[in-house]
Structure 1
Amino acid sequence: MNKRNLVISSILLLLAITVASCGRQEQHYIEKVFNKMIKSKSSEEIAKANSYTIDSLNFVQLDSLGLTKDYINVWTKLYIDKSATEDLVRDSKKLIDRLEKQSPKDIEVFIKAIANSNTLAGYPNVAASIVAYPYGVDVSSDEYSEIATRLFVSTGLPGNKAPQIEGLQPLEGVNSTLVLFYDGGCGICQNLLEELDHNYDKLKAKGVRIVTISADGDKDTFEKKIAKYPWPDKLCDYQSFNGINFKRFGIAATPMMFVIDKNGVVIDQFSNLKDTNLIQNI
């Protein structure tokens, strides 16, 4: 190794050590703040912890500690105990605005934690107001919004038992189920249907069950467009977005896909087939 490469390697090693050290310090501080929110009786300390959460909390470090859900539960409880739900919505939106500028990927971590918060279980409009905000739906916590509620429902599904799908019969030998909600008049939806068709035999061989649920409101239109596809589970109740399955899964727009494991638990929601990882190595 020549002298130049040795210097570069030394600098990179020093940077790596510095980053790791800063990460450990950040994790230690997060744990300190978390414990203060739980134990402290000082309003000043709690106010500082709250400000830190809104203005500085690093969700990557929080997630690495495995504290995301517990932290959000404790943080939201500070507001609930003071009957300050409007303040919670306001401060959550400020936090989301910060993440939008600094780390957009962390918004999903935050809103999923909000959607699954035990503390907010009795305050669905509050949770819906927060979850919907990154999607451009800005509603207050004291008003019901159908779109916000649906976004709240769908965001909270991953990691939980999937809702019952009306019209779907049990099937043995299924490793996972891919559920696609689509609209027959949507071009992107049609492309997804074609992609599923192209990969159907291989997905079936892997034990993946495909279920498509249409928002079409007319029987002839639905049957004409879906007839050529080979999977048997092609559902439509002709109620469009008011259909029971669309409501249970919180579908506010199409296309939307969910992958459900063999135990009936939702793995995650997706807008394209590639991200599901079901067609990897096919």
Structure 2
Amino acid sequence: MSKNYIKYPIAFHKQSEKLIGISDVTDENKTELICLECKENFVAVRKHQTPHFKHKPNSKCKGNVETYIHWITKEVFKEIKEIELPEIFIHNLTENQREKFNNQVNLLIKHNVPENLQIKFRKNLKKNISESGIFQIEKIETEKEYKTTIGNVRIDIVITINNQEVFIEPFFSNQIDDFKRRKLILLERPTLAIDLLTFIDRFDYQYNLENLKDYLISKKGKNWISNRERKIEKYRLEYINYVSEEIKRQHNDFKLNNLKLKKITELESEINVLEKKIRPTKDKIWKLKHEISEIKNELGIRDYEF
């Protein structure tokens, strides 16, 4: 990451209540551009190798890069009409969901897949239980507070898709802590975390509104924190059916594997029979060699190996 990073490539225009990138600043709108953190006017530095906004000297703004990218993200979301929601992976499930899921899958594999193929079969199964998809956003709210049995929780962004709320929690350096995660699980809403640090690292702080909007719309940097129990149950049943179909599809391979294992057993059995037959001869040969060695020692004859 460059030491000379641009902290403020985007400002908020008071009159239009919209974000404006440094490349869109004009003599007409430059006096209406503010920092949403402190509400102070930004100075647009346009005649610069890397144009940017900055606070005036002696600014009292207590914001930082993290709070800045957070409020920009929330403002950008107000203009987004659709979003790509990522797959739900097995590792996205809660501990209880994952335990129930794995127990059922492992039981199915144990009873239907040859033991020597179980590790390979399990490794080749898909790791997601749902597919990604693009959805229309019907409504967007920010900084919305909810009550739970263990305390209130404020959600950064709440979008409505198909009449159902989806929580979105952007993070920079501090991810969602366990206590907040417990509250989110209690609320039974699909919750996505968005990694803003990855975005910043990619553009080295020299990003624009279009870059950020594209990132927020895509499934990049998104990770499921929790989901509705009913939805997870639906996906669990679908995944079990998928595993069953994979077992059926590989049935001939399993059958051939069993035939080969049977052949190995037969050959090993035949070898055992032959070894029993030749064991007396091998023992007699060993005794004769030992007797020859003793006689040679008595005669002072040494065997040399080169």
Report the TM-score when normalising by structure 2.
Answer: 0.25
Larger radius of gyration: 2
Using CA pairs under 8 Å that are at least 6 residues apart, name the structure with larger relative contact order, 1 or 2.
2
Report the TM-score when normalising by structure 1.
Answer: 0.27
Higher helix share: 1
